Amino acid sequence: MSGDERASGARDAAEAQQPETHEGLDLRYGLEIVGIGLVALLATAMIAFIALDWLRHLNGSAAVLFEQFLIAGMWIDYSVGTNVFQHAFMWRMIATGVLIGIVAPLIGTYLVHRQMALIGETLAHTAFAGVAVGFLVIAVTGWEGSLLIVALIVSILGALGVQWLTEHTNTFGDVPIAIMLTGSFAVGTLLISWGRGTMSVAIDIEGWLFGSLSVVPSGGARMMAVLTVSVVAVIALTYKQLLFITFDEQAARVAQLNVTAYNTLLVVMTAVVVVGAMQILGVILVAGMLVIPVAAASQIANSFRETLFLSILFGQVSILGGFAFALSQSLPPGGSIIVVAICCYLATIALSSRSGVALSMH
């Protein structure tokens, strides 16, 4: 066979394989879209349950629908041989977990690509200080509100403090984050120790540190639903601006984009997500849900948008798989979820053939 014939045969083979490559990519993207659609339906159902759980005390129709939801849970228990889905508190936990599995990777995708993964851990420790402050407020004033409200306020203030230190100091970017991380946890530890010795309120901090199935009250689930809708809406409205800042902050400044405002918005949203997520994951492990699903998605994604989609899918696998493992083995949910997330990450490393491929800014 001549050289021209061999070259022609090679071109024909390449052209024959090219449609298969496009078809494979189209199938992959199609499956991802279907997966995101199913996650959206699941999240909608969980938000509906949280709404019914709130309205059932105010409206008879809502109470009937809520009971029907629990009856459906009984049928699920009967079908799979469990004793889980007929209880309202388990559905609150599952609903909160599903919502965490959406917003944590969503925010985490921006943080990871901006090399700000440590900020989640920092704000989790700040929220821990907020829980400690909440215990003392309850002990001193007799206030009957949620500890999560206090933790949310303190965590947002901590986020604003980190942003202010980053903007107004000449130290390296991660130094203010490290200072806030250690300082807030130190303050929380001191307040808890002092409160146990002087206050009459029983302080059980273990569930907040490691996560617990019993930490998610009705108010906590409602707050997570509101925060999820708010964060998703803000991300949808500011997607292009945050994407621009994530990949080229200096160019965004040249384009007269208010970079400081968008950076502040990002860290505040991170604080909001951390407070909601620590109900299940605990202070120590909450940062893992911001980082690990994104790391897994980055191994196989070809664009920023695909990383967003895949990280949410991996987040759902981690949440639901972690819950299943925790319930079957009577283990804390936080550690179980993170272990499943790490397994997803290792699996993507094994399946990925890339060693250093640039990510498309789409």
Query: pLDDT tens digits for 114-131?
Result: 888 888 888 888 888 888
Which residue do the tokens 């200080």 mark? 129
DSSP single-letter state for residue 360: B
Residue 204: the pLDDT is: 65
CA distances from 266 to 151, 241, 250 (A): 18, 11, 17
Fold classified for 3-55+87-351:
ABC transporter involved in vitamin B12 uptake, BtuC (1.10.3470)
Average pLDDT for the chain: 83
Residue 3: the pLDDT is: 47
Residue 10: the pLDDT is: 43
| Whole-number Å distance between alpha carbons of 298 and 344 | 12
Q: Both tokens of residue 191?
A: 């307040």
Query: pLDDT tens digits for 192-223?
Result: 877 776 666 566 677 777 776 666 788 888 99
Question: Mean pLDDT throughout 315-330?
Answer: 90
Residue 95: the pLDDT is: 92
If one counts every other C-beta atom within 10 angstroms of the C-beta of residue 55, the result is 15
| Whole-number Å distance between alpha carbons of 274 and 227 | 11
% of the chain with per-residue pLDDT over 90: 32
Residue 337: the pLDDT is: 92
Residue 231: the pLDDT is: 94
Residue 360: the pLDDT is: 53
- Contacts of 344 by beta carbon, 8 Å cutoff, 6+ apart: 292, 293, 296, 314, 317, 318
Q: Both tokens of residue 34?
A: 């279907």
Residue 5: the pLDDT is: 47
Who wins on pLDDT, 355 or 260? 260
Confidence of residue 229 (pLDDT cuts 50, 70, 90): very high
| Whole-number Å distance between alpha carbons of 181 and 86 | 40
Residue 120: the pLDDT is: 83
CA distances from 317 to 1, 69, 132, 344 (A): 53, 23, 32, 8
Residue 110: the pLDDT is: 93
Confidence of residue 347 (pLDDT cuts 50, 70, 90): very high
CB 224 within 8 A of CB 96: yes
Q: Both tokens of residue 198?
A: 């002087």
Residue 312: the pLDDT is: 96
Query: pLDDT tens digits for 39-91?
Result: 999 999 999 999 998 888 888 888 899 898 889 889 988 888 888 888 888 88
Range with the poorest average pLDDT among 13-22, 145-154, 159-168? 13-22
CB burial readout 179-216, b (16+ within 10 A) else e? bbbebbbebbeebbeebeeeeeeebebebbbbbbbebb
Q: Both tokens of residue 18?
A: 């090219």
Residue 200: the pLDDT is: 60
| Whole-number Å distance between alpha carbons of 313 and 297 | 9
| Whole-number Å distance between alpha carbons of 318 and 330 | 17
Q: Is 355 exposed, middle or buried (0-12, 13-18, 19+ CB in 10 A)?
A: exposed
SS3 annotation, 10-71: HHHHHHHHHHHHHHHHHHHHHHHHHHHHHHHHHHHHHHHHHHHHHHCCCCHHHHHHHHHHHH
DSSP single-letter state for residue 248: -
Q: Both tokens of residue 101?
A: 């599995």
Question: Mean pLDDT throughout 162-172?
Answer: 74
Confidence of residue 236 (pLDDT cuts 50, 70, 90): very high
Range with the poorest average pLDDT among 160-169, 266-275, 290-299, 330-339? 160-169
Which spans in the chain are helix H? 3-55, 60-80, 88-113, 118-141, 147-168, 175-198, 206-210, 218-237, 239-247, 249-254, 259-300, 304-329, 333-351
Question: Mean pLDDT throughout 266-280?
Answer: 89
| Whole-number Å distance between alpha carbons of 279 and 211 | 6
